[in-house]
Structure 1
Amino acid sequence: MTLALAFATAALLAAEPTNLPPNHPPVPPGTGASPAAPTGALPEGHPPFAAPKAPGELPAGHPPMSDTGRAPPSAEELLKQLDSTEGLRAREKTFEIASSLGKLYYSNGRHADSVMYFLQAEEKAVKTRALFLEQRKKLGKKPVPGVEEAQCGFSETTSVEEMAKVAEARAKQGDAAGAAACAKAALAPVLEVEVLRANALYLTGDSQGALTVYGRVLEVSPSHEDALFSRSAVLYETKGEDVKALQTAHEGFEAFLAMHPNSPRADLAKQLGQFAEDTAKAGGRQKWKQARAEDRRVRLSQPVAQRPMEAMPPRAAPGPDAPPALTQEMVDAVQNTERTPELEAGLAKLVEEGEEHLARGRYDDALAAYRRVVPFQPDNGRAKAGMAWALVGLGRPMADRIWGVAVGTDAAAVEKLGDTLRARGDERGAKALWTKLLSSAPDYPNKATLQAKANP
C-alpha cells in the first residue's frame, strides 16, 4: 500500500457525511481533536479529560507517523473503510482515484469488485481513445511520434485528464502527429488498467469478456506485451476446438516473440505457440490428444534399448544433500508420462516460479520447484542453472559439483539466469552469479560482456 493510494482514498472518503451528533461544535479540518475541556465542573459520571500532550508527542505504543503527520493505513483497513462507505461506488472519481481503488481490490484478490472501478477509470478516457484512433488514421502509414519528439510537455505527475486536454488542443490545431502522440501517452495508464480488468474478468470466469478487453488494448497498442501474451494464452486455453482461434493464438505468440524476444515469458510463449500450431493442424484439441495417444501406444509397444550393465560407469556414493536415488519404476513412470501441452506449460511455469524464488532469496522453494522439472527435462539448461544457483545459495556440500555440471553443459543458460535475476530486481544476486561464472569458466567465449555485467 503506497502513501499516494492511501491519501487519494482518504481524499475520496472526505466527502462522507459527518458522524458528529446534532449541534456538536465543528471539529477543525484535518484533526481528530475534541474541543477544549470546559473549565467548570464536569457532569456526574463524566470520564475525566486526558492531560494535554506536548506538541508532537504521541501516545505510548503509538506507531511512528510519516512526514505528513499521518500513519498510512493498511490495505485491510482501507478495504474495510471502503466497503462501509455508503454511495462510494456511484461517487464521481478522477481516473487516478478510480484506478487506484481498482488496483487495491485487484491486488487483494477482490477481482469482481475491482472490475467496476477499472471501468469507471476507463470511462474517463473514452474520448481520448476515440481521438487517438482518429488521428492515427489520419497519419496513414506514418508512425506515431514519441511523446518527447512531439513535445507534449508531460511529467510523471501529469494526470490523464490534463494529458487528454493537450491532445485535444493539438487536434484542433490540425497537428495529427502531435495529437496522436499526446493521446497515446494519455492512454498508457489506461491500457494498464484495461489489462488488469481483462485479467480480473478471466479470473472470475468471463474468458470471452477478457478476450474482448485484451483486443481493445491491442487495437491501440498492437505490440503491448501483457495484452499480446495474455490474449494468446486465453485463446489457446479456452478455444481448444476452434482451429481459427488456435491459429490466432499461434500468430499472437509469434508476434510476442518477435517484439519481446528478451521477455522472461519468451520461452513459455515459444512452447505454447508450438502447441497451438500443432493443435490447430490436428483439427482441435481432442483430435490432437487422440493422435498423441496413438503415438504413445506405438512407442510403448516397441522394445526399449538399454545399455549393458557392465557399460554403465560406477556411481559415487550419494552425499547427504543428494536427492533420493530413482528406482527403475520411477524412471519408467517419468519416461512413460505423456508430454501434453498442459504438462509442458506446467514445467515451464515451475521454472519461472523457481527463478522468482531465487530472486527473492527463497532458495529452498526454488530447489523444490526445479526438482520437479529436471526428471522430466534433464537437458533443460535453464532449470539446471537455477538448481545449481539454489544449491549455491543454500551452501550445500554438493553445490560446486552441480554448479560445475550446469556451467559445463550450458554456460549461456547460467549467464541468462543472471539476466533474469536482474530483471526481477535481484541486482546483487545477478552480479554474484556472473562473478562466479567468470571464475568457473575462464575460457567463456562471451567473457568481455560478462565482465562488463559483473563489474559495471
Structure 2
Amino acid sequence: MPEGHPTMPGSAPVAPGAPLPQGHPPVKDANRMPPSAEELMKQLDSSEGLREREKTFEIASSLGRLYYTNGRYPEALAYLSQAQAKADGVRSLFLASRKKLGKTPILTAEAASCGFTPDQPLDAMEAVAQARAKGADAAGAAACARAALPNALEVDVLRGNALYLNGDSASALKAYERVLEVESRHEEALFGRASLLFETQGENLQALKTAREGFDALVAAHPESQRVPMARQLSQRIEETVKAGGRQKWLATRAADRRVRLSQNMAPNPAQAMAQNPALPPDAPRPLTPEMVDAVKNTERTPELEAGLTKLVEEGEEHLARGRYQEALANYTRVVPFQPENGRAKAGMAWALVGLGRPMGARVWSVALQGDAGAVEKLGDTLLAKGDAKGAKALWEKLAQDVPDYPNKAGLQAKLSQ
C-alpha cells in the first residue's frame, strides 16, 4: 500500500458504499465520466489568453488535434502552427546534418545510441541532437534529429489538411512539401500533395506530371495502403489529362464521348458518370479565400440565416438521394463555413465528395468519421427514407469498413442485413 495508507484489518472486504476508514486519503469518484470533446473545448475556449500562452510542442499539438478532429479548423491551425514553430529547430538541424552526410545512409536512433524513450518530449530529444552536432558528430545529429521528428511531421500533415479544409490550398501544398522535404516517402504527404496538384493545377502539365509521380511513389512505397487503388486510378487519369493537353481539353474529349454514347442510346446512369469523373467542372464551388472566411466570421447569425442553412442541408440530402453529387456539394460548401460543427452537413459533404470520386474525398470522409460518425450513419437513414436504398447501403458498408470499432456496430450490421 502507498506510504501513509492506514492499516487495513484482515477481515472481509469493506462493503460497497461503506464509509472509508478514518484517515483514508480522498478517493476520486470512479463513476464520473471524463469530459466530452465538446465540454473540453468549451473549457478551453473560456480560458483567457490560452492561445497566446507559451506551450510545449506536446501541448500545442494535442490542442491542435482536438480542434481539428472536431472540425474547428481556424483554432486547430493556431495551435498546430505553434507546435510547428517548436519543431522548426530540430527540423533545421536534421536538414543541415543530412546535407553534411551527402549520400551516406542515416543511422537509426538505436544504432546512433540516442537513448530516447517512447514518451520523451521533443525539446529533450532536440537537446541530444544539438549536443551531437556541437561535437561534430553529423551522423549522430542526423540520426537523433530524424528520430525526434515523426510527431512533428504528423503536425505538418494535419496543418495541410486543416488549411485545405479552411480554403487555403496554396498553403496546404506548402505544408505537405515541408513533410516531403524531410521524408520523401511519407504516405499522407505524398497523397495530399498529389491530390491538391491534381485538383488545382488542371492546366499545368508539369504540375500534373508531378502529381502523377507522387501517386506512383505512394504505390511503390506503400503497396499495402488502402489508398493504392485510388492512387493508381488517379495516376491513370492524370496520364490521360496530360495526353489531352490539360483538364479542359480532357473534359471536352469526355463530353464528346458522352454525346456519341447518347446518340447510340447507351448513356450511363448519371450517378455513375459523376462517380467516374472527379475532375472539377468550371462552375464547381471553389475553396474559400481568407477574405471570404473573414466575411463568414463577421456575418450576424440571425434566425433567418440559420433557417436558410437548414434548408440548404435538407436540399443537399435530397440531391444526394437522387445521385446529384455536384449539386449537393454546392449546398454543403455554403453551409459548412457558417456551421463547421454541423456533423450533418459535414457527413453530407463527405458523401458528396466520395460520390464524385474527388481525390480529397477520402480525407474529408475521414474527418467526418472522426468528428461525428453517428451523423454519417444517420445520413444513411435519410437516404433510405428518401428512396435511395442502394446509396444508404453503400454508405453504411463504407462506414462499417472504415470504423471497425464503431460503437453502434450491431445496429449498423442489422441495417446492412435488411
TM bin, normalised by shorter chain, reads 0.5 to 0.7
Identify the match of residue 35 of structure 2 among 70, 73, 85: 73
Residue 225 of structure 2 corresponds to 263
Query: 2: CA distance between counterparts of 1:76 and 1:210?
Result: 26
Closer, same or farther: CA 424–218 of 1 in aligned 2, 3 Å: farther
Amino acid at match of 1:108: N
Amino acid at match of 2:162: A
Query: 2: CA distance between counterparts of 1:115 and 1:227?
Result: 17
Residue 260 of structure 2 corresponds to 298
Closer, same or farther: CA 64–333 of 1 in aligned 2, 3 Å: closer
Q: Which runs of structure 2 are paired with 1:268-287 in the superposition (5 Å)?
A: 268-287=230-249
Give, in angstroms, the shift of residue 281 of structure 1: 2.1
Q: Deviations over 1:112-143 (max 9, x none)?
A: 11111111111112221111001111111122
Give, in angstroms, the shift of residue 341 of structure 1: 3.2
CA contact (8 A) 1:95 1:121 kept: yes
Give, in angstroms, the shift of residue 297 of structure 1: 1.8
SS in 1 for 2:223: coil
Query: 2: CA distance between counterparts of 1:334 and 1:72?
Result: 44
Is 1:213 paired with 2:150? no
Give, in angstroms, the shift of residue 178 of structure 1: 1.6
Is 1:340 paired with 2:307? no
Identify the match of residue 150 of structure 1 among 112, 115, 126: 112
Closer, same or farther: CA 125–244 of 1 in aligned 2, 3 Å: same
Residue segments in structure 2 that go unaligned for 5+ positions in a row: 1-19, 280-324, 326-352, 410-418
Q: Deviations over 1:402-431 (max 9, x none)?
A: xxxxxxxxxxxxxxxxxx88x9679xx9xx
SS in 2 for 1:196: helix
SS in 2 for 1:256: helix
Identify the match of residue 31 of structure 2 among 64, 84, 91: 64
Q: Which runs of structure 2 are paired with 1:48-127 in the superposition (5 Å)?
A: 64-65=31-32, 72-127=34-89
Identify the match of residue 237 of structure 1 among 182, 199, 206: 199
Give, in angstroms, the shift of residue 176 of structure 1: 1.5
Amino acid at match of 1:204: N
Q: Deviations over 1:315-349 (max 9, x none)?
A: xxxxxxxxxxxxxx9x8667877942359963768
CA contact (8 A) 2:277 2:357 kept: no
Give, in angstroms, the shift of residue 280 of structure 1: 2.1
Identify the match of residue 170 of structure 1 among 111, 120, 132: 132
Q: Deviations over 1:203-224 (max 9, x none)?
A: 1100000001110110011111
Give, in angstroms, the shift of residue 241 of structure 1: 2.1
SS in 2 for 1:247: helix
Amino acid at match of 1:346: G
TM-score normalised according to structure 1 size: 0.57
Residue 144 of structure 2 corresponds to 182
Residue 451 of structure 1 corresponds to none
Query: 2: CA distance between counterparts of 1:84 and 1:338?
Result: 44
Query: 1: CA distance between counterparts of 2:275 and 2:47?
Result: 53
Query: 2: CA distance between counterparts of 1:122 and 1:53?
Result: 50
Give, in angstroms, the shift of residue 302 of structure 1: 3.9
Give, in angstroms, the shift of residue 373 of structure 1: 11
Closer, same or farther: CA 345–248 of 1 in aligned 2, 3 Å: farther
Q: Deviations over 1:150-196 (max 9, x none)?
A: 22111111010001011111112222222111101111111111110
CA contact (8 A) 2:277 2:356 kept: no
Seq. identity, %: 51
Identify the match of residue 161 of structure 1 among 104, 123, 135: 123
Q: Deviations over 1:262-294 (max 9, x none)?
A: 101110111112112222222221111101111
SS in 1 for 2:173: helix
Query: 1: CA distance between counterparts of 2:52 and 2:68?
Result: 19
CA contact (8 A) 2:87 2:152 kept: yes
Closer, same or farther: CA 78–339 of 1 in aligned 2, 3 Å: closer
Query: 2: CA distance between counterparts of 1:168 and 1:278?
Result: 48
Query: 2: CA distance between counterparts of 1:87 and 1:335?
Result: 51
Give, in angstroms, the shift of residue 301 of structure 1: 2.9
SS in 1 for 2:113: coil
TM-score normalised according to structure 2 size: 0.62
CA contact (8 A) 1:351 1:370 kept: no
Closer, same or farther: CA 348–291 of 1 in aligned 2, 3 Å: closer
Q: Which runs of structure 2 are paired with 1:20-31 in the superposition (5 Å)?
A: none
Closer, same or farther: CA 240–85 of 1 in aligned 2, 3 Å: same
CA contact (8 A) 1:275 1:341 kept: no
Amino acid at match of 1:164: E
Amino acid at match of 1:117: Y
Closer, same or farther: CA 173–205 of 1 in aligned 2, 3 Å: same
Query: 1: CA distance between counterparts of 2:233 and 2:53?
Result: 46
If asked which structure has higher relative contact order (CA below 8 Å, sep 6+), I would say 2
Query: 2: CA distance between counterparts of 1:151 and 1:204?
Result: 42
Give, in angstroms, the shift of residue 83 of structure 1: 1.3
